[in-house]
Amino acid sequence: MKHPRGELAAHGLAASKSRGQNFLADPAVAREIVRRAELEPGAPVFEIGPGLGALTRVLLEAGHAVTAVEIDRGLVRYLQDQVQPAFPGRLNLIQGDVLKTDLAALAQDQGRPLDVIGNLPYQISTPLLFRFLETREAVAGAVLTFQKELAERLAAGPGSKAYGRLSVMFGYYARIERLLDLGPEAFHPRPKVGSTVLRVRFVADPRPPLRSAAMFSTVVAAGFSRRRKTLKNALRSSFPESQIDAALAAAGLDPGRRAETLAVEEFVLLTESWPAAIST
């Protein structure tokens, strides 16, 4: 792997800030990410944003078949010219927006849920995580590089500043494992902040069980809609007061608490205590 600075210049490309293009600059880091991903040998891998192919090359060299979605046409051309020929039939490049990619269809084509890997562009990390949640049956696991602050939000527990909607949703549906911290020097151009590589695995049978996943999602989103307010006031953004009072009382939760103090199980309890939950 050549350094991205020279590689971009040699191919008439430039790093786009708006597309979150901070390329891995150190092949040892790319190898370490793939090693820590502990992928099943030879299994197909779905890569998000291959860029100049830092991770892609390591995956292909290790014998994986890679399907990769890259939004930047210049980078897709680069990968077609510089990477694809060395691995005939094993790199499937899709030019497009991963947020619009049908993950369920890809998993179906593959005949198994996706093993995802990606050094994610900062701009799409949160919407992508919510898409993963919606299509979690299509995702076996994901090893993703996030800005440190987002990684902290994902893995945060109640009472901490970073704890929010993402933490509760992923706390319920997934297990998060921190694999690696990377400093800005691991990338070109250097981002302002550090990054963290996380493994996200969806739980087959989340506990405690929910009658309505949609209701859970609405309650959590409403709870955090006004962070500085009490839970009761925040819930008013989405529900009538009579329902809120009844649900909080049935769940035995103090209406004066703030959403950020509620454990994941308490959000489940609140959802299950909702009078209209059955009909939602």
Q: Could you list the residues that contact ligand SAM (CB under 6 A)? A: 19-24, 48-52, 54-55, 69-72, 75, 97-99, 119, 121, 124
Maximum Cα–Cα distance for the chain, whole Å? 66
Q: Return the number of the residue (59 or 107) whose C-beta is nearest ligand SAM.
A: 59
The 3-class SS string of 174-189 reads EEEEEEEEECHHHEEC
- Closest separation between CB of residue 195 and ligand SAM, Å? 9
Query: How far is 55 from 46, CA to CA, in rounded Å?
Result: 11
Rounded to a whole number of angstroms, the minimum distance from the CB of residue 22 to ligand SAM is 5
Smallest separation, CB 221 to ligand SAM (Å) = 23
Residues in a beta bridge with 20: none
Question: Shortest Cβ distance from residue 118 to ligand SAM (Å)?
Answer: 6
- Given the complex with ligand SAM, which of 119 and 196 has the nearer CB atom? 119
DSSP state of 256: T
Rounded Cα–Cα distance for residues 269 and 86 (Å): 54
Contact 88, 60 (CB under 8 A): no
CB closer to ligand SAM, 96 vs 208: 96
Q: How far is CA 126 from CA 82, 130, 166, 274, in A?
A: 31, 6, 8, 28
Nearer to ligand SAM, 20 or 171 (CB): 20
Residue 125: name the closest of 27, 8, 265, 22 by CA: 22
Residue 163 backbone zone (phi > 0: left; psi -120 to 50: alpha; other: beta)? beta
Question: How big is the chain, counted in residues?
Answer: 280
Pick from 218, 211, 206: nearest CA to 277? 211
Nearest residue to ligand SAM by CB is 49
Smallest distance from ligand SAM to CB 254, Å: 42
Cβ 164 to ligand SAM shortest distance, Å: 23
Among residues 49 and 113, whose Cβ is nearest to ligand SAM?
49
Closer residue to ligand SAM (CB): 18 or 279:
18
User: At its nearest, how many Å lie between ligand SAM and the CB of residue 79?
Assistant: 10
Pick the closer one to ligand SAM by CB: 23 or 267: 23
